[in-house]
A and B are shown apart, each in its own frame.
Chain A
């Protein structure tokens, strides 16, 4: 065509024989250092070591009071003593029992709410209104009321835990169900899935990334609420029977009263360790076996 711009016409060629590439490797094995520094755990652990070293050095050489900031070594020793002779593990167990009870009841209620919200418009309205209203309310703010209704004891804590579990779990599960792709819904119906079977075999797995997210958030809220609640009136719970029946929050509270600051730090460490264990070990394992394996979540 005449409107075509002038192009430089060059001769064509075809490679007769493509030889082996001689420079560089197609696939080179990474060096040991490259592989180690690629490991997340190694990098994170080295940061931890740095923090601990800085802490120990500061407390040793700055002359800061043991009552303000104990040495890392003293904290570690306190943690060891607490585990060996002060029944810290039993206290952790007490806390976990309350937590798991509250979490389980919360999940059951959340399941009912989500089912109602998915099936009917009325249920949907109930869930969205209640969630919008109650989700911003920190669970610990309900504790005074819970004490009034249920008295001093595990029941009051479980009530506040329910509040911290139900809303995030129900909300996330509902959003998950709503966002299952139209194609996948049609596939499920195509192969004859109806009613509860359809929910169990299609909607729940398809919405699992969001459901799991809700479970994680619910757990995180519940754990923080539990420790806070035990701090507030852990003392009362420990009075309910002889021996160690208090929780982890109570351990921190009581040791602060006795000015056992190293033990307070040890208690805080335990809170962190349990939290890390559940969030990074248990939930991570669930994620690796499900959503990550299925490619429904990045990494």
Chain B
């Protein structure tokens, strides 16, 4: 995938955008707990196009994280199909890299650079050590962690750890980057900073990203298109555009209107208030 068209500025991606890169078709996902069989999503369908910043938004229990696990290949749908570039997904693979919420996604026995090299090497991305090193350093620079490449993860702050995880994911140049509430465990100021940096990175390379969040505001800032989901079981409620909204619009009438619209949509179902954070600032 040659997606490094760094010169192409703006929202409109240059490459072949008529074909969806990821196709989720009528997917029902179920998992077992000790006592129950839970239906996490019910016949969910959507298409992700190249260079989309596609957000799965919904309250707890709408199956958005489960859906992401299904796309990553950790679980199989009981109904429907998930296709990446036309091929059905059967197992986890380096063409879809996941960035998790948990800080322990970095391997603690490897330094920042080694974590990225580990991914490149095992994911079959590079053949030579020199090449892996070069790519790793390039992405460490991109996420502004120069000088920390030989640091072990336990010495880093939460925000820095997530930056490394993002760098590791992006270095793989996957077809789609899967982000499961990557900023949810960060403090508000760091989260704001990370959202901005993610958008800057996207401006650089226009990678395709699938982003899960339960914050309406974060969805509007980060996303270009938003899939609103309702809970128990997760179903598609709406698909909205948000490519015209970012940090600069927070507080605008335009922004507030969309925010309120989604809020109403979600609360129409009388969802417990604490499940959704409509006003959760950045």
Contact = CB atoms under 8 A, between A and B. Distances in A.
Interface of A: 181, 183-184, 186-187, 189-193, 197, 201-202, 205-206, 208, 290, 293-296
B107 A187 contact: yes
A184 B107 contact: yes
Contacts of B153: 295
A182 to B, nearest CB: 9
Interface residues of B, number: 26
A295 B154 CA distance: 6
B74 A296 contact: no
A290 B219 CA distance: 40
Contacts of A197: 122
Interface stretch (B12-20, B35-43, B94-102): B94-102
Given A187-B107, A192-B122, A294 B94 contact: no
Given A186-B100, A295-B152, A295-B154, A191 B94 contact: yes
A197 B97 CA distance: 19
B187 interface: no
A184 B92 contact: no
Given A183-B104, A190-B94, 16 more contacts: A183-B105, A187-B98, A190-B72, A190-B92, A190-B93, A190-B96, A190-B97, A191-B94, A191-B118, A192-B123, A197-B122, A201-B122, A290-B109, A295-B152, A295-B154, A295-B155
Contacts of A189: 74, 91-92
Contact of B104 (A184, A193, A205): A184
A290 B110 CA distance: 10
Contact of B74 (A186, A206, A290, A294): A186
B166 interface: no
Contact of A190 (B98, B108, B124, B152): B98
Nearest to B93: A192
B119 interface: yes
Nearest to B155: A295
Contacts of A193: 122
Interface of B: 72, 74, 91-94, 96-98, 100, 102, 104-105, 107-109, 118-119, 122-124, 152-155, 172
Contact of B92 (A186, A201, A202, A293): A186
9 contacts: A181-B104, A186-B72, A186-B74, A190-B72, A191-B97, A191-B119, A191-B123, A208-B109, A296-B108
Contacts of B97: 190-191
Most chain B CB neighbours (cut-off 10 Å) among A184, A192, A193, A201: A192
A186 B65 CA distance: 14
Contacts of A294: 108-109, 152, 154
Contacts of B98: 186-187, 190
Contacts of B104: 181, 183-184
A183 B102 CA distance: 7
A205 B109 contact: yes
Nearest to B106: A187
Contact of B124 (A181, A187, A192, A296): A192
Contacts of B94: 190-192
A126 to B, nearest CB: 25
